[in-house]
Amino acid sequence: MMARAVYPDLKINKQYFNFGEVGQNDRRDMVLSVKNKNKDLALDFSFTKVAHFKATPGRGKLLADCEHTINFTFEPKSFGMFKQEIAIEILNGVYRFPIILEGNCRQIALKEKTVRGPAAKTSDFEPNITVINDEEAALTTLKETMNRKAKKEDPALA
């Protein structure tokens, strides 16, 4: 009797994420949904590392016939327009699914004062997660473009 081959079968809700305009010292998050459609095979996964973007969790196990969510974070450390390809790797890199992450940073965001030292609670070290969708990301880009146009037309605003 011959054994049948079992292959990974993934469904990813989207392969392009545009975070829009995000200030330096700020962060934005978007959610990826991954479904392991194979009913018999749990899959190990990991994400490649790229600058300014992060996947959480960065590695783990996709259980058989289950849907999982991955949080992508854009946290720019410098100014610029960033477009990176991150890949979800299945079975130690045997299978790779590319995902494009894009975002802009043209301004410095105010950094929050945080409590540190003995007075700090565990919650003080948790990041402020701001999950946005495609429409909200597009609005940040539109708002930044309108601000730049207004500054060009009225030098007093600069």
Tens of pLDDT, residue by residue over 107-158, are: 887 777 777 778 778 877 777 777 777 888 777 766 666 666 666 665 555 5
Identify whether 61 is part of a domain: yes
Identify whether 116 is part of a domain: no
Identify whether 4 is part of a domain: no
Identify whether 5 is part of a domain: no
Residue 56 has which token pair? Answer: 């959480």
* Domain coverage including residue 73: 10-109+123-157
Residue 4 has which token pair? Answer: 């049948």
Identify whether 46 is part of a domain: yes
Number of other residues whose CB lies within 10 A of the CB of residue 126: 8
Phi and psi based region of residue 27 (left: phi greater than 0; alpha: psi -120 to 50; beta: remaining): beta
Identify whether 73 is part of a domain: yes
Number of domains in the chain: 1
Which CATH number is 145's domain given? Answer: 2.60.40.10
Identify whether 2 is part of a domain: no
pLDDT-derived band at 1 (thresholds 50, 70, 90) equals low
| Kind of pairing between the strands at 95-105 and 16-21 | parallel
| Cα-Cα-Cα-Cα dihedral sign, residues 101, 106, 108, 112 | negative
Tens of pLDDT, residue by residue over 30-77, are: 999 999 998 888 899 999 999 999 999 999 999 999 999 999 999 998
Phi, psi of 2, deg, nearest 5: -95, 135
The reported pLDDT for the residue numbered 35 is 93
The reported pLDDT for the residue numbered 156 is 54
Q: Which of 46, 14, 45 is nearest to 31 (CA)?
A: 14
Cβ 102 vs Cβ 82: under 8 Å: yes
Residue 111 has which token pair? Answer: 């950094």
Identify whether 3 is part of a domain: no
